[in-house]
Amino acid sequence: QKEVEQNSGPLSVPEGAIASLNCTYSDRVSQSFFWYRQYSGKSPELIMSIYSNGDKEDGRFTAQLNKASQYVSLLIRDSQPSDSATYLCAVNWSGGSYIPTFGRGTSLIVHP
């Protein structure tokens, strides 16, 4: 069974620090990877997508993918209290599947 694992946290970092969120997945037959942010009581919203090995940067966010080690990470630079949320990792599997698998999410707290 394909699985996506995340540390539930909470991960607590001071304002201005780098927050590092990690995600591992169980199957090498994976195609695309997504990070969603979910504020309490709200629905998930897409932060980053990454499809090939290496880093992808978008503003303060950097996604890192290592398919050989089966992990994907999200770095948030200059963390702000408004970044406090749950971050969901999602993996889409190849083979024509329509089914993304979500991790449980990591709770991030950025304290002033």
Partner 1 sequence: ETGVTQTPRHLVMGMTNKKSLKCEQHLGHNAMYWYKQSAKKPLELMFVYSLEERVENNSVPSRFSPECPNSSHLFLHLHTLQPEDSALYLCASSQDGRGYNEQFFGPGTRLTVL
Report helix, strand or coil for 100: strand
Alpha carbon distance 14, 48 (integer Å): 23
Q: Supply the minimum distance, in Å, between the C-beta of residue 18 and partner 1.
A: 24
- Taking the alpha carbons at both ends of the chain, their separation in whole angstroms is 41
Task: Give the one residue of 56, 60, 104, 109 binding partner 1; rule: CB under 8 A.
Answer: 104
Q: Report yes or no: 106 and 9 within 8 Å, Cβ to Cβ.
A: yes
Kindly determine how many residues on this chain lie close enough to bind partner 1 according to the rule CB under 8 A. Answer: 25
- Residue 99 near partner 1 by CB under 8 A: yes
Task: Give the one residue of 37, 44, 65, 76 binding partner 1; rule: CB under 8 A.
Answer: 44
Task: Give the one residue of 15, 55, 97, 111 binding partner 1; rule: CB under 8 A.
Answer: 97
